[in-house]
Amino acid sequence: MFSCSVGAKTVSVCAAGKLSSSAGSLRYRFGPEGKAEIDYPAASAWRGVTRSGTWTFSGGGGAWLAFHRDVFRYIVYTAIGRGWGEKAGLAVEQNGKLLANLPCKGKPVSELGPDFFSNAGIAADDKDFDLP
């Protein structure tokens, strides 16, 4: 559903099964290609920790998917806006503060957006996310 290189590592969101509001699952993965350092959450728990959001910008918009894990939030995002072009990557927050922003190196593979979120039954995040 999302994948890009952020240097020596790859960030991905992978779907398992036929993803819908009542079936399938999503997982966040991060690490060297083929060797995830983070593989979260368990398939049975993903709906409880995964949230979504969208932005509307002048001349564009964007979408993000957040995986909540204790005091951390792993956020993959894609956006486009007039004047600054395209942005995509991974942001990591701890207790609501940005720890890292890892922009994609090259164009990401992405299905993120309101139609995907709605079809998969992913709830909107109650925490805002500002594009880094």
User: Domain ranges in the chain?
Assistant: 2-120
pLDDT at 100: 96
* Confidence class for position 131, pLDDT limits 50, 70, 90: confident
* Confidence class for position 102, pLDDT limits 50, 70, 90: very high
pLDDT of 77 > 90? The answer is yes
Task: Give 28-76 pLDDT, tens digit per residue.
Answer: 999 998 899 999 999 889 999 999 999 998 789 999 999 999 999 999 9
- DSSP assignment of 3-65: EEE-SSSEEEEEEESS-SSSS-EEEEEEESTT--SEEES-GGGHHHHEEEEEEEETTEEEEEE
